[in-house]
Amino acid sequence: MTISTYKTIWISDLHIGSTQCQADMLLDFLKHNDSEKLYLVGDIIDFWSLSKKMYWPRDHNTIIQKFLRKARQGTQIIYIPGNHDENIRAYDHYVFGDITVKNSDIHTTVNGKKFLIVHGDEYDAIAINHQWIAKIGSVGYDWLIKLNHFLRIFRRIFGIQSHFSLAAFVKFKVKNVVQFISKYEESIVHTLKNEQLDGVICGHIHHAEIKHIDGFLYVNTGDFVESCTAIVEHFDGELELIKWVKYAPALETLEDRVEA
């Protein structure tokens, strides 16, 4: 079995405990990728979903066991809670089974660049001021994910490429959503670019990205619900966006390989 090893891996928005979670893809990623440090960048356990309906299949338990096993074997795991698992923010700097909870963290890459690690809902005006709108949006998103499941089966039957996300398609066809993503990115960069940092690594909006904004590196981990993406740090400090396809990683284009 081929295992890729990195200095650091960032993953977010796993939504364990919800029907959104792509447990098989996530377990496959964890099986084939290892690192000295692993950041879980928020919305790891979906308490919003669990509060509506108890959903915890066996493979979700396996995911938790896999994280604990990695921690026991020496991987430094840091859990940065998000808005769907905000209850865990009350345990800032607690250690659970060798996994450390931090509401935010500063990560320094091999080549000396400093990044703030946050989930990112702290910079989302809707999540802060209108949580009820965010929860309604979450319900609509759940329905899109369910519809996408049946659409993938249909496409597979007719021999059509099955790695298609209805939620992502709708997201980038709705002008207001595209504008929201842009404003979210700009809000984070505008807030942090004078904080003696080289960049930020976050999640929250399920849109993976590595790009420079006003000389500040904005990095978004994406999610393991629709796009199955992660950010990795190589041993030379270079950051890379990975889009995972089961049993083999499909790396993004060279434009997504950026010197941190």
- 182 domain-assigned: no
Contact present, 209 and 229 (Cβ < 8 Å): no
d(CA 53, CA 55): 6
**In this predicted structure, what is the pLDDT of residue 184?**
85
**In this predicted structure, what is the pLDDT of residue 186?**
86
> Which CA distances in Å does 118 have to 39, 107, 115, 206?
10, 11, 10, 14
Mean pLDDT, residues 126-153: 51
- 30 domain-assigned: yes
Between residues 49 and 145, which one has the greater pLDDT? 49
- 157 domain-assigned: no
- 129 domain-assigned: no
- 174 domain-assigned: no
Between residues 98 and 179, which one has the greater pLDDT? 98
pLDDT in tens, 108-117: 999 999 999 9
pLDDT > 80? residue 2: yes
Q: In percent, how much of the chain has pLDDT > 70? A: 72
- pTM exceeds cut of 0.75: yes
Query: 18: domain range?
Result: 4-119+198-258
In CATH, what number is assigned to the domain containing residue 246?
3.60.21.10
pLDDT > 50? residue 19: yes
96-106: b (≥16 Cβ within 10 Å) or e: eebbbbbbebe
- 204 domain-assigned: yes
| The pairing of beta strand 99-101 with beta strand 76-79 | parallel
**In this predicted structure, what is the pLDDT of residue 183?**
81
